Amino acid sequence: MCYYVYIVECNDKTLYTGIATDLQRRLEEHNSSQKGAKYTRNRRPVKLVYEEKYEDRSRASKREVSIKKLTREKKLLLIQG
């Protein structure tokens, strides 16, 4: 099973970082379901701006935490490549 660490840009231009096994399903949840994160529910629509793929949950979770600790400016640099 693969795990994705992702960043979405919300309608209000804020950034949300998450982890998922099915990235497309998770984006649909963020945009149209009560299963979307509480943070993104009031900031719809969201669009995918960054993703990384991992083979195990442990590494993906560690990466998610490290991205969440970044400043907005550093996240934007990561997104830009």
Domains and CATH numbers, the chain: 3-80 (3.40.1440.10)
Q: What is the pTM of this model?
A: 0.95
pLDDT for position 36: 87
Q: Which of 5, 26, 22 shows the shortest CA–CA distance to 68?
A: 5
H runs (alpha helix) in the chain: 23-32, 38-41, 57-68, 72-80
The mean pLDDT values, 10 residues at a time, for the chain of 81 residues are: 97 98 97 92 96 98 98 98 93
Nearest 5 degrees, angle CA 71-CA 76-CA 81?
125
- Neighbouring residues of 33: CB distance < 8 A, sequence distance ≥ 6: none
Instruction: In whole angstroms, give the CA distance from residue 27 to residue 19.
Output: 11
